[in-house]
Amino acid sequence: MGMVKRVLTVAGSDSGGGAGIQADLKTFAALGVHGMSAITCITAQNTETVTAIHQVPAEIIREQIRVVTVDIGVDAVKTGMLFSEEIIESVADELSEIKVPLVVDPVAVAKSGAPLLKPNAVDALVKKLLPLATVVTPNINEAKLLTGIEISSAEEMVDAAHRIAEMGPEAVVVKGGHLPGETTMDILLYAGNIYKFAAEKIHTRNTHGTGCVFASATAAYLAKGWKIPQAVQAAQRFVNEAIKRGLDIGRGYGPVHPTGAVYENSEKLTALRQLKEALKMIEREESFQRLIPESGSNIVVATEYASSPEDVVGVPGRIVKTPDGFTSALEPWFGASRHVANAVLTAMKHDPSVKSAANIRFDDEILSTLEALGLSVSSYDRGAEPEEVKKEEGRTIPWGIEEAIRKAGGVVDVVYHRGDVGKEPMAVVFGVDAYDVVRKLLRLSRRLAGVEI
């Protein structure tokens, strides 16, 4: 691994973990840079309010900046909550000696409305810190604070950007997320050119930390050597993904989730690899053919926070019988299964440890063998399916699994039904992962084949 880029955040601590240095460090980690912090203030904060602010002594803030710079080194700096004139002057003095890209997020007000910048500190921010900035990233309310311009349109955002640029930063981004409409527009003024970055507005309350994540993402991209327009555009895309995955926690404004996409991608890779390995285990087992229904079999694996079949990996076209045995002709992928995916999603609501399932044929010999193997079994009657469930596509499996779980008092190893008009009998085998499911399948198929296990 080559030399990792190093990014320093100089900002406040959010005890709720949604903004401030907590959001910055998560963003740095998600973007593959080494994050460091110099804490300016400690806030007692949650999703609803800020109840207290403790200002860190200026000399301690200075020392935090000095020690990481001298030893570890810095490739970019991001500033957030600076709170007071004394802190701003101290930070500006230290950063004037560090010749790397500086992203200034002029944090003035928390999402809850609490002030995070003293009124007498605005002048110090403008005169001391903005002239050092590579990029300054105000939202429209912060742009108004800096310029006095009322902003209600893209044209006024451009006017504000020009006014802020006169204060000395190399580039200005005025973020338009607070404006009404179905799209958001961020305006970048750089080298005399105006760049407009539009995105679909995401309607959610879970936006705490948006500004911190945008600024820290911009700093991370600049640390990697990206040009300013490309860094800003990438930061906008990154923060939009973090908003989409925002966490619905607390009673107020939930936080955005900068590491959400990283977790999802990791989970998907793990699930995909797991299913491929499980399929190899089955392919070597001739006795498995006995378990394949006429309509084919499927094995699925769900990700940790799966909420739809698109979060569940399965076998496209299913595992089907052939003259020579059976095959899964296509590579596993997400959204490939609906029925078995819905089965595991339903089971996960009752037992989050259950992440995998497979559908197999069902008959009385299979039932007696399952019981002999000591596997827990429950069932539902497709003939008792309510008409309103039958009429709606995709509801039958969740209804049936719910019925079987209710009857058993919890998730079992196997749920079966005896079919209905035009529907063959079927069983679904559940497990904590694909290996667990396959072990159960192979125990069953080998016992049916008369192989000692």
Asked if 427 and 414 count as a contact pair (C-beta separation under 8 A), the reply is yes
Q: Of 209, 254, 260, 400, which residue is the catalytic one?
A: 209
Q: What are 360's strand-pairing partners?
A: 427
268 is an active site residue: no
For residue 245, CA distances in Å to 43, 204, 234, 256, 383 come to 25, 10, 17, 7, 40
Asked if 326 and 289 count as a contact pair (C-beta separation under 8 A), the reply is yes
Amino acid occupying residue 25: L
335 is an active site residue: no
Burial 159-178, CB ≥16 within 10 A → b, else e: bbbbbbbebebbbbbbbbbe
Q: Of 210, 218, 303, 396, which residue is the catalytic one?
A: 210
Helix, strand, coil distribution of the chain in percent, nearest 5: 40, 25, 35
212 is an active site residue: yes
40 is an active site residue: no
Tokens standing for 26?
A: 């998560």
Asked if 444 and 451 count as a contact pair (C-beta separation under 8 A), the reply is no
Asked if 103 and 49 count as a contact pair (C-beta separation under 8 A), the reply is no
Return the SS3 of 415.
strand
Separation between Cα atoms, residue 117 and residue 46, nearest integer Å: 18
Amino acid occupying residue 303: T
Tokens standing for 27?
A: 């963003």
Separation between Cα atoms, residue 150 and residue 137, nearest integer Å: 17
69 is an active site residue: no
396 is an active site residue: no
Estimate to the nearest angstrom the gap between the alpha carbon of 447 and the chain centroid. 43
> Residue 39: which of 55, 26, 50 has the closest Cα?
55
Long-range contacts of the stretch 364-369 (C-beta < 8 A, 24+): 365/448, 366/291, 366/427, 366/444, 366/448, 367/416, 369/444, 369/447, 369/448
Number of H helices, E strands in the chain: 14, 18
Q: Of 207, 218, 303, 346, which residue is the catalytic one?
A: 207
Q: Of 212, 218, 260, 355, which residue is the catalytic one?
A: 212
Separation between Cα atoms, residue 27 and residue 258, nearest integer Å: 5
Q: Of 5, 118, 175, 355, which residue is the catalytic one?
A: 175
Which runs of E-coded beta strand occur in 105-201?
A: 135-136, 171-175, 183-190, 193-200
**Residues assigned a catalytic role:** 175, 207, 209-212
